[in-house]
Amino acid sequence: MTFSEKYKDEIADILSRYPVKRSALIPLLYVAQRDQGYVTESAMQEIAQLLRLTPPQVYETITFYTMFNLKPMGKFHLQVCKSLMCALVGSDTLLGWINSKLGIAPGETTTDGLFSLSVVECLAACGTGPMMMVNDDYYEQLTEDKLDRIVSDLRSMGTSPLKSGPFMWPEPLRSTDRVTG
Amino acid sequence: MVCRDRLRPPKAAGTRVFCVSGHVKRPGNYEVPMGVTVRELVYEHAGGMRSDKPIKAFIPGGASAPFLTPAHLDVKLDFESVAAAGSMLGSGGVTVMEEGTSMVWAAHRLMEFFYHESCGKCSPCREGSAWLVQTMRRILAKRGRMEDLETLLDLCKNIAGRTVCAFGDAEVAPIQSTLKYWRQEYVDLVNEAEAANLIRLEPAGRP
Ligand code: SF4
Ligand code: FES
């Protein structure tokens, strides 16, 4: 069954929300990605046809966003933020831990198909770095110990209670923390 | 007729959420009165510096705001005061860097971000960000030449103010400001490259 047949109703619903057809591009790409874990070439072609775009227009949109995948991904997609604010507090070290624990570098997937690793730019949690996103969940203020627990939770439960919202409050102020400059 | 001054917001009214990041003890989001200084933000709210080293540099308003120096620690964080100090209040993302942080490295990290985020619609930003990032990579890898510093400034000058959106103005801020305050760090890297004879002609078109 083709992509457009399989998701006929959902596609019609999405298309009905936009006065201009091409505005539905990103929502449709999300549907395609949900189906296979990545956007297949045939899905790109179908979406182009549906929206009267050229296949390159669809492809170039995908390549702009790190949220869209162009090849099969592991069950858990680790996306480590490498922008300055996270780099100042150890995002390179975090990548090193992941590499030594899971044996993958950015762009690679473990042989059991469980974990894929990407580096991405700022995920808007600069105050709580180093951080990563696993599929759609945020994990912040990462330490080696926290990473171990997250990885083992993901293996056993498919998620981890260590995930946080994108917003965390600072720890309450202790009297010893007050310094005058 | 309404007096124009009355339509203008008071200079520093109300509170603002600052996201304090970098080398402080307690990074995070702080809602404090407008007009707080970075010194107060770091030492009274964010618990001071993580290893008690002095502050070397800070960014007062997110990646697009020019870097400032310890001489600016008492600048009030409101729109007009930060602008007068040569930066901008921007998003309220305050990034603090301790003594020992390489400013060329920091500017390069931000440039990688801007290079990735440039949408590609207009050429000064699309081509300029690629050129800037390649030049920064080269300098950082100790393969830079002295002319590269002029190239950087020239590129920055020809991107800012010449693009479709404000992203062009933003992407030049880290390089321009670090070159202004810490030019010697760039020069040192180039000197090291020259001393070690690491500079090689790199034919265009080779990845
Ligand atoms: S300046 Fe704005 S519109 Fe032009 S390429 Fe950069 S991000 Fe796109
Ligand atoms: S720099 Fe990592 S979330 Fe902003």
pLDDT digits 0-9 by tens, B132-148: 999 999 999 999 999 99
Distance in Å, CA B204 to ligand 1 centroid = 25
Last residue within a domain, chosen from B98, B129, B161: B98
Query: Residue B188: helix, strand or coil by DSSP?
Result: helix
Query: Residue B142: helix, strand or coil by DSSP?
Result: coil
Task: Kindly report the CATH number assigned to the domain that includes residue B187.
Answer: 1.20.1440.230
Whether domain A3-64 has CATH 2.60.120.560: no
In a domain, B3, yes or no: no
Encoding tokens for residue A83?
Answer: 């922008």
Do A119 and A98 form a contact (C-beta atoms < 8 A)? no
Beta bridge partners of A137: A134
Closest C-alpha to B80, from B97, B93, B61:
B61
pLDDT for B118-137, tens place per residue? 999 999 999 999 999 999 99
For residue A181, name the pLDDT band (cuts at 50, 70, 90): very low
Residue B2 has pLDDT above 60, yes or no: no
Question: Tokens 């990548």 identify what position?
Answer: A95
Distance in Å, CA A88 to ligand 2 centroid = 10
**Dihedral over Cα of B76, B77, B78, B84: its sign:** positive
Last residue within a domain, chosen from B50, B74, B98: B98
The pLDDT of residue B70: 98
Do A43 and A78 form a contact (C-beta atoms < 8 A)? no
The pLDDT of residue B13: 82
Q: How far is CA B137 from CA A8, A87, A179, in A?
A: 47, 16, 38
B152-176 mean pLDDT: 97
The pLDDT of residue A129: 95
What are the helix and strand counts (H, E) for chain B? 8, 4
Which domain, by its residues, includes B146?
103-197
Q: Measuring from atom 2 of ligand 1, which residue has the nearest CA?
A: B165
Q: Which of B165, B171, B172 to mutate to test the pocket of ligand 1 (most atoms within 8 A of CB)?
A: B165
Do A116 and A74 form a contact (C-beta atoms < 8 A)? yes
Q: How far is CA B99 from CA A132, A157, B136, in A?
A: 27, 43, 21
Q: Which of B19, B47, B109 sits opposite A84 (nearest CB)?
A: B109
Top-level CATH class of A76-157? alpha beta
pLDDT for A12-47, tens place per residue? 999 999 999 999 999 999 999 999 999 999 999 999
Determine, for residues B63 and A171 on separate chains, whether the beta-carbon distance falls below 8 Å.
Answer: no
Q: Which of A121, A122, A181 sits opposite B39 (nearest CB)?
A: A181
Residue A138's CB is within 10 A of a number of other CB atoms, namely 20
Q: Are residues B84 and B108 in the same domain?
A: no
Phi and psi for B46 in degrees, rounded to 5?
-90, 15
Residue A170 has pLDDT above 80, yes or no: no
The pLDDT of residue A175: 62
Residue A171 has pLDDT above 90, yes or no: no
Q: Which atom of ligand 1 is nearest to the CA of B119?
A: 8
Do A124 and A168 form a contact (C-beta atoms < 8 A)? no
pLDDT for B80-98, tens place per residue? 999 999 999 999 999 999 9
The pLDDT of residue B199: 72
The pLDDT of residue B59: 98
The pLDDT of residue A44: 97
Q: What pTM value is reported for the model?
A: 0.90
- Separation CA A107–CA A85 (nearest Å): 22
